[in-house]
Structure 1
Amino acid sequence: MSKLTENKGKYTRRDALKLGLSAAAVASVAPLLMSSRTAQAAEVTTLTVADVGGPYGTGFSKAFYKPFEEATGIKIINTVLGPDPVPQFQMMVDTKNYLFDVALLNPEHLVRLNKLGKPYLEDINVTVPDPENYVKGSITKQFGGVSIFALALGYRLDAFSGDKTPKNWVDFWNTEKFKGRRGLWRSPICTLEVALMADGVDPKHLYPLDVDRAFRSLDKIRKSIDVWWTGGAQATQLLQSGELDMLSIWSSRAQTAIDAGTPAAIAWDQGLYNIDGFTIPHGSPKVEAARKFIQFCMDAKRQSVFTEDLACGPTNVKAYDFIDKKKATLLPTAPDHIGQLALLGADYWGENQLALTERFEKWVMS
């Protein structure tokens, strides 16, 4: 087999010159190379997109996956990421075994991946005509933010009502006034921030975290924590079943329970918000189709659609022009809510997650 045939679709002008072809010969081969690349792009019939499952898969399917299939003919295969996608992402790129072509990550994941000493992310090459309409940090060189979520305090209305409902983490820590079964996320991320706010730290001045103070605050509540939940679906079930009366929970997961008829509510004060965005693994053989998909997802009207199933806020605030006014009041980026939320420190967690996860697990198990 000739070198040209063997590397079909990857052959370049420089390769031709190395093989000693004349300039005229290179010119004659060039149309074939372009034809090969066009054919290669045309051969992309599927894209595997990894998100975190649950209502994300449902909402994104309606907003992005199915409309993209209809617009391009490229079928979206939806899969679910692991609890920590960074090791999975790293192994996939290192072995060139691409389990997915696009992945939903958070900014702190990108910080961690970009610290690893070699490229793990492709540039997404996304441009928008109205960047002023996107929440700050939503679109970067490697990240196309599409939704905003929050960790807040969820509680049962059959356990707390009237003026005796918990409003924030200070109330959650007050086990005398607010009795009931409690749960927290088994992760240092958010949980250390929650502990500091319960101890009186201003949400605007959380970072860098006073870690020792956070663990001292957790020491005060640990005997009252009945469940350390590990996944969003579990948190929904704990609230829905009534096993817990109050817990830290992703607002989208709490809203899923509320929409299903659970007598529950969300306290937004002292909550934390973060951004979900699509990324592309470095070296992906479907990088151009992946870029086309991410660009597709930046549209305001398309982002409005996922709010029918997923209680996350769109990153493109013009999406609110298409969202039911009543529904809009349930989202983290609603004006009455976003002012009560603090932005999760992506740079801090990108630098400190591994070490603090080890310390946190030792504390939980001690």
Structure 2
Amino acid sequence: MKIKITLGVAAALMATTALADTKRVTIASWGGSYQEAQSKALFEPAAANTGIEVRQETYGGMSDVRLQVRTGQVTFDIVSSGSGSAARAAAEGLLEKLDYDIIDVSRFPPEYYTDYCVGGDVFSTVFAWNTDTYGEDGPQSWADFWDVEKFPGSRAYRGKVAGALEPALMADGVAPEDVYDVLSSEEGIERALNKIRELRPHIDVFWSSGAQHAQLMRDGEVDMTTGWNGRFDNAAKDGANVMHSFNQGLLDYDCFAIPKGAPNKDAAMAFLAEISKAEYQDDLPTYISYGPTNMAAFETGVIDAETAAMLPSSPENAALQLPISLEWYSEWEPIASEMYQEMLTE
């Protein structure tokens, strides 16, 4: 009997050790052409080079992480997130602190990572136009986007507050460097909302996803829209008659975070260290025109000058844009979002 018990315990210990030695991570992202690009440039090569098994899922954002953490049933090891969403999730205690002794961010600009989220790509919220309607000389500022006499036609605009208020204030004459100061009051938020109300008779669609605003341009359903640069570039590659400008764009980044209580936290940290390297990030623009957060990626020779000119994080394009303020979103987004949704239901 003692022998059987000893063997049983030994077998259990061996099984536990084998499980602990298995390196795997579950990564949740947003699907579509974006996750396909992440998979080809980052996830699949890093899995092959590290031996870490990768399982990919799509998810609905930090609300899914909140549910997992609060119920104690965390299945995600890494999530792809917008920077603002990650900042709010970190403030709620939903994320693990990242170890930058493991993840090398020495070539990352400081605005592209936080204690809880490391940048994976840089994107821009821009205005785009139908070249069938306006040719190549479309709008070149948010004031132009609002100018329905100079640029008559239908518009689409974001149905959520993120990236919706800043363009309205710039269209109303606020200098980019003053936008967040003005927005740091309910009066300033109302000023932005009033500017959107002014344009609303010409807004046919309030879009809710990158796939949607790209499809609007593919189908020619609107003449002009806001949206994300990489989605428009991919639509253009598919034959859509669309162009966009980085002028007065909103410079933002997507990042990777580890949910609090992730089952494979150590493997997740190692995997983030791997995909943060320049030799992975320089491949991402091959699949979608979002820029690297690791500036060394511009030095590997993979990103040529023509490609760099399409990337929001190239120094020339970044200089034209307003960086998103995570501090403002952390403090003001709940109030601004409620006011924005009320405006949409008027």
The TM-score, its normalising length taken from structure 2, stands at 0.89
Q: Which one of the candidate residues 285, 288, 310 is aligned to 1:310?
A: 288
1:16 alignment counterpart: none
- Contact 1:124/1:294, CA 8 A, preserved across alignment: no
Runs (5+) with no aligned partner, structure 2: 6-11
Q: Which one of the candidate residues 252, 260, 267 is aligned to 1:274?
A: 252
Q: Whole-Å Cα distance in 1 between the matches of residues 173 and 331 of structure 2? A: 25
2:20 alignment counterpart: 41
2:150 alignment counterpart: 177
Is it true that 1:365 corresponds to 2:345 in the alignment? yes
* Structure 1 residue identity aligned to 2:160: S
1:356 alignment counterpart: 336
Distance 1:37 1:142, change over 3 A: farther
1:251 alignment counterpart: 229
Is it true that 1:341 corresponds to 2:321 in the alignment? yes
* Structure 1 residue identity aligned to 2:53: K
String of CA shifts for 1:302-342, please: whole Å, max 9, x gaps.
10111111111100111122213211111111233111111
String of CA shifts for 1:172-192, please: whole Å, max 9, x gaps.
100011011111011111111
- Contact 1:59/1:305, CA 8 A, preserved across alignment: no
- Contact 2:217/2:241, CA 8 A, preserved across alignment: no
The structure with more radius of gyration: 1
Deviation at 1:115, TM superposition (A): 3.1
2:8 alignment counterpart: none
Deviation at 1:37, TM superposition (A): 7.8
Deviation at 1:130, TM superposition (A): 7.0
Distance 1:266 1:221, change over 3 A: same
Pairs within 5 Å for 1:106-255? 106-116=82-92, 119-127=93-101, 131-161=105-135, 163=137, 165-208=138-181, 209=183, 210-255=188-233
Is it true that 1:326 corresponds to 2:300 in the alignment? no
What RMSD, in angstroms, separates the aligned Cα atoms of the two structures? Answer: 2.1
1:75 alignment counterpart: 53
1:262 alignment counterpart: 240
Deviation at 1:362, TM superposition (A): 1.4
* Structure 2 residue identity aligned to 1:114: A
Q: Whole-Å Cα distance in 2 between the matches of residues 240 and 300 of structure 1? A: 33
String of CA shifts for 1:131-174, please: whole Å, max 9, x gaps.
452122223322211210110011111111255x2111100100
Deviation at 1:294, TM superposition (A): 0.3
- Contact 1:111/1:351, CA 8 A, preserved across alignment: no
Q: Whole-Å Cα distance in 2 between the matches of residues 267 and 72 of structure 1? A: 39
1:141 partner SS: coil
Q: Whole-Å Cα distance in 2 between the matches of residues 128 and 286 of structure 1? A: 15
* Structure 1 residue identity aligned to 2:88: R
Deviation at 1:109, TM superposition (A): 2.0
1:133 partner SS: coil
2:20 partner SS: helix
Q: Whole-Å Cα distance in 2 between the matches of residues 142 and 342 of structure 1? A: 23
1:293 alignment counterpart: 271
Deviation at 1:38, TM superposition (A): 5.6
1:121 partner SS: coil
Q: Which one of the candidate residues 87, 90, 98 is aligned to 2:74?
A: 98
The TM-score, its normalising length taken from structure 1, stands at 0.84
* Structure 2 residue identity aligned to 1:141: D
1:147 partner SS: strand
Q: Whole-Å Cα distance in 1 between the matches of residues 55 and 15 of structure 2? A: 25
1:58 partner SS: helix
Distance 1:130 1:67, change over 3 A: closer
* Structure 1 residue identity aligned to 2:303: I
- Contact 1:126/1:291, CA 8 A, preserved across alignment: no
String of CA shifts for 1:209-229, please: whole Å, max 9, x gaps.
121210121121011101111
Distance 1:66 1:114, change over 3 A: closer
Deviation at 1:39, TM superposition (A): 3.9
String of CA shifts for 1:69-91, please: whole Å, max 9, x gaps.
21233321222231xx2322111
Q: Whole-Å Cα distance in 2 between the matches of residues 364 and 169 of structure 1? A: 20
- Contact 1:63/1:303, CA 8 A, preserved across alignment: yes
Distance 1:147 1:72, change over 3 A: same
Runs (5+) with no aligned partner, structure 1: 6-31
- Contact 1:269/1:340, CA 8 A, preserved across alignment: yes
Q: Whole-Å Cα distance in 1 between the matches of residues 273 and 266 of structure 2? A: 11
